[in-house]
Amino acid sequence: MNLTLKIWRQKSTNDQGKIVEYKVTDISEDMSFLEMIDVLNYDLVEKGDDPVTFDHDCREGICGMCSMFINGEAHGPNRGVTTCQLHMRSFKDGETIYIEPWRSAGFPVIKDLMVDRGAFDRIQQAGGFISVNTSGRTLDANAIPVPKEDADKSFDAATCIGCGACVATCPNGSAMLFVSAKVSQYALLPQGQVERKERVLNMVKKMDEEGFGNCSNIGACEVQCPKGISLENIARMNREYLMASIKPEN
């Protein structure tokens, strides 16, 4: 396949940045999207140009590092997959492909297609955990009974890989899907009850401080999320938050 790529190039956070056009040739349709970018980067390095910077790690859809806005959609045109799991057979020979970084006030661009998703870490640190005693006499988690339905819902929420596609795709730049997945994951389990109220209050406060937009229930995040995280989680977080605001003590 031969392709024209229009890629966002930006030297640093404060650089203006612009779209630059590149041609790649002899791309196999069995390559992943990132492998196609690797081919381009080999070319650029050979020519003595600066290769395109992008985030990636596992390349098997589980780490959440890859993050490209491809042809107007987060992680490209396919559903339920990350960029690393997107293959070139999803494109046509001769096609022009736009590749941009996640756009959000909460995700400043570091370089080219790489953005700083530290805001997600800070939201997690504000409450996305349970405090467990490590005195050596910890209770075996499997010894605590959990209703099957709750376990399933909690597990579904826990599959969020923190990639940020929800923020990137939301017309409001809202991080509600991510935060609600993290809140739900613990709110549904017995282990999450102790910090249940302060967790949701603190995580939402941090989310707002980080400059993400307000959810207006557009629902684009749910469609573009590679892990299929449901909007029901956002409704649950709204409930959790409103209840905790009315009665903050446990």
Residue numbers of the site for ligand SF4 (CB under 6 A)? 160-166, 177-178, 181, 225-227, 229
Q: Which stretch binds another protein (CB under 8 A): 43-51, 117-125, 172-180, 190-198?
A: 172-180
The residue among 41 and 238 lying less far from ligand SF4, judged by its C-beta, is 238
Q: Per-residue b/e over 9-29, b at no fewer than 16 CB within 10 Å?
A: bbeeeeeebeeeebebeebee
Tokens 């029901």 correspond to what residue? Answer: 232
The residue among 83 and 180 lying less far from ligand FES, judged by its C-beta, is 83
Could you say whether residue 178 binds another protein (CB under 8 A)? no
The residue among 55 and 240 lying less far from another protein, judged by its C-beta, is 240
Could you say whether residue 77 binds another protein (CB under 8 A)? yes
Query: For residues 88 and 36, is the Cβ–Cβ distance under 8 A?
Result: yes
Using CA atoms, how far apart are residues 147 and 238, in angstroms rounded to an integer?
A: 22
Q: Which stretch binds another protein (CB under 8 A): 29-37, 54-62, 66-74, 188-196?
A: 66-74
Amino acid at 138: T
Near ligand FES in 68-87, by CB under 6 A: 82-84
Query: For residues 84 and 61, is the Cβ–Cβ distance under 8 A?
Result: yes
Could you say whether residue 56 binds ligand FES (CB under 6 A)? yes
Could you say whether residue 13 binds another protein (CB under 8 A)? no
Q: Which stretch binds another protein (CB under 8 A): 27-35, 65-73, 116-124, 125-133?
A: 65-73
Using CA atoms, how far apart are residues 150 and 145, in angstroms rounded to an integer?
A: 11
The residue among 83 and 104 lying less far from another protein, judged by its C-beta, is 104
Query: For residues 168 and 113, is the Cβ–Cβ distance under 8 A?
Result: no
The full DSSP string for 56-110 is -S-SSSSS-----EETTEET-SSSS--GGG-BGGGS-TT-EEEEE----TTS-EE
Could you say whether residue 244 binds ligand FES (CB under 6 A)? no
Query: For residues 37 and 54, is the Cβ–Cβ distance under 8 A?
Result: yes
Tokens 């005195």 correspond to what residue? Answer: 135
| Residues of the shown chain interacting with another protein in the complex, contacts defined by CB under 8 A | 6, 8, 19, 69, 71-73, 77, 98, 100, 103-106, 169, 171-174, 176, 204-205, 207-208, 211-220, 223-224, 231-232, 234-242, 245
Interface positions with ligand FES (CB under 6 A): 56-59, 61-66, 82-84
